[in-house]
């Protein structure tokens, strides 16, 4: 997700912003040249001011800390440690470059993380939050620039259970509205920053309404998991009762929509998929 500095809107016109509305990947695009490079340089400068990621992660925040599988070939953003080194959200109107970018398709479109052998427990309400780097288009808009991803979890590392994606709205007119992508991650801006906007675990899981959380990101409840081709009732009940050890995140474009027999494609021409900042669980043991 290409990010804009916090002060961007005070410096450039709204017209300029609209020109770059569909610049959602951290990887520079061939057709954007000098201005995109300028934006990237400005954002790198903005990130450096926050000193994120921190050298020492905050205590009491169960962040996924182990890379199980990562094969991205996205130039400049294929360092998988970026997905476990801390949450560096840029706020409502900009995103972070401290991310691991997935490919649009193929093996590089999937990332699997774990908590180093610990189990994410099924507790009350939301059980984990995924942080990508979306941003809202303007302060008054209900439109977001994002790269949706499909989420699955597993207890044994073999049988993965996911969430209901049947509410997906394929209308191009509404494709950049969060409501068109129920069950997906990578939709909501990340407000949490482990250097400049410290929040407690309780605060991270505090709802602010309409699916949004105090620290941003997309929250998921283990109780909402459903069966699928790789998850029968036995596997599903095991996760709901015991919790899970592994989380798999895949660019939506690499997952087949049964209604179209093609990927869940956000209508853009970006050269990579979802950009993962990290995952935080509410309770692990």
- CA–CA gap between residue 160 and residue 147 (Å, rounded): 22
- CA–CA gap between residue 190 and residue 1 (Å, rounded): 12
Provide the pLDDT for residue 110.
98
Measure the N-to-C terminal CA separation of the chain; round to a whole number of Å: 33
Distance of CA 274 to the CA centre of its chain: 7
Q: Exposed, middle or buried by CB within 10 Å (0-12, 13-18, 19+), for 85?
A: buried
Cβ–Cβ < 8 Å for 94, 4: yes
Report CA dihedral (260, 262, 267, 272) to the nearest 10 degrees: 160
Beta strands across the sheet bearing 246-251: 66-70, 110-114, 246-251, 149-154, 160-163, 225-226
Does residue 219 sit in helix, strand or coil?
Answer: strand
Q: Which position has the token pair 């977001």?
A: 144
Provide the pLDDT for residue 213.
98
Residue spans per domain, the chain: 8-281
Q: Which regions of the chain are under pLDDT 50?
A: 1-49
pTM of the model: 0.85
DSSP one-letter string for 27-77: SPPTTTHHHHHHHHHHHHHHHHHHT-S-SSPPTT--B--EEEEE----TT-
């Amino acid at each position: 997700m290409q990010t804009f500095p916090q002060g961007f809107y005070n410096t450039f016109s709204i017209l300029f912003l609209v020109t770059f509305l569909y610049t959602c990947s951290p990887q520079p695009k061939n057709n954007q040249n000098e201005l995109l490079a300028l934006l990237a340089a400005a954002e790198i400068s903005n990130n450096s001011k926050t000193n994120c990621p921190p050298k020492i992660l905050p205590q009491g925040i169960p962040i996924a800390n182990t890379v199980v599988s990562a094969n991205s070939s996205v130039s400049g953003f294929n360092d998988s440690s970026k997905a476990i080194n801390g949450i560096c959200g840029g706020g409502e109107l900009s995103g972070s470059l401290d991310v691991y970018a997935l490919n649009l398709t193929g093996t590089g479109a999937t990332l699997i993380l774990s908590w180093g052998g610990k189990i994410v427990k099924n507790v009350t309400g939301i059980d984990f939050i995924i942080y990508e780097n979306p941003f809202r288009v303007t302060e008054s808009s209900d439109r977001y620039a994002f790269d949706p991803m499909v989420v699955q979890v597993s207890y044994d590392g073999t049988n993965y259970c996911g969430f209901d994606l049947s509410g997906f709205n394929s209308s191009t007119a509404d494709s950049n509205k969060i409501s068109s992508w129920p069950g997906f991650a990578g939709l909501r801006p990340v407000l949490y920053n482990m250097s400049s906007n410290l929040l407690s675990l309780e605060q991270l899981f505090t709802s602010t309404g309409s699916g949004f959380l105090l620290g941003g990101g997309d929250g998921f409840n283990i109780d909402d998991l459903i069966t699928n081709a790789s998850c029968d009732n036995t596997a599903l009940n095991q996760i709901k009762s015991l919790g899970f050890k592994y989380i798999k995140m895949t660019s939506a474009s690499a997952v087949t929509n049964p209604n179209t027999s093609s990927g869940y494609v956000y209508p853009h021409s970006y050269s990579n998929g979802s950009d993962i900042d990290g995952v935080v669980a509410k309770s692990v043991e």
